[in-house]
């Protein structure tokens, strides 16, 4: 796996947790929200394995609910552990963002 995809994977996990924290939601809606904020190259095929892993790790719980358009949908919500993981992600993200910005600002590239 290249560096970009590894970085994106960790960022996506935190971003998925944030989307789900806003409201209980399902996979397609998560991918649409991510696309709308700029993750334009993210497909549902990328989202679903991450959702499965987050669920297996106890950060999400899922329930099936009726859909107005066909079969039941799998809706996700955060667990307490997921809430904590989201807080930790955001703290780590801010630290990394600050460090990278400082590095580029010092070299006059920003």
CATH of the domain at 87: 1.10.10.10
Stretch 16-45: mean pLDDT: 92
pTM of the model: 0.87
Within 13 A of 20's CA, how many CA atoms are on the CB side? 29
Rounded Cα gap, residues 43 and 55, in angstroms: 19
pLDDT digits (tens, 9 = 90+) for 62-89: 999 998 888 999 999 999 999 999 999 9
pLDDT digits (tens, 9 = 90+) for 48-65: 999 999 999 999 999 999
pLDDT over threshold 80, residue 2: no
pLDDT of amino acid 16 = 97
Provide the number of structural domains found in the chain. 1
Q: Which domain holds residue 10?
A: 3-106
Stretch 7-35: mean pLDDT: 93
Helical spans, DSSP H, in the chain: 3-22, 27-36, 44-56, 80-106
Phi/psi of residue 13, nearest 5 degrees: -60, -50
pLDDT of amino acid 89 = 95
Percent of the chain scored above 70 by pLDDT?
Answer: 95
For residues 14 and 48, the answer to whether their CB atoms sit within 8 Å is: no
């Amino acid at each position: 796996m290249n560096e970009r995809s590894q970085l994106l994977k960790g960022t996506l996990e935190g971003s998925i947790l944030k989307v789900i924290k806003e409201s209980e939601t399902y996979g397609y809606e998560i991918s649409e929200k991510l696309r709308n904020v700029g993750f334009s190259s993210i497909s549902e095929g990328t989202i679903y394995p991450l959702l499965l892993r987050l669920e297996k790790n106890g950060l999400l719980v899922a329930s099936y609910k009726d859909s107005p358009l066909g079969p039941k949908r799998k809706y996700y919500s955060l667990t307490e552990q997921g809430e904590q993981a989201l807080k930790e992600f955001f703290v780590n993200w801010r630290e990394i963002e600050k460090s990278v910005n400082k590095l580029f600002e010092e070299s006059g590239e920003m």
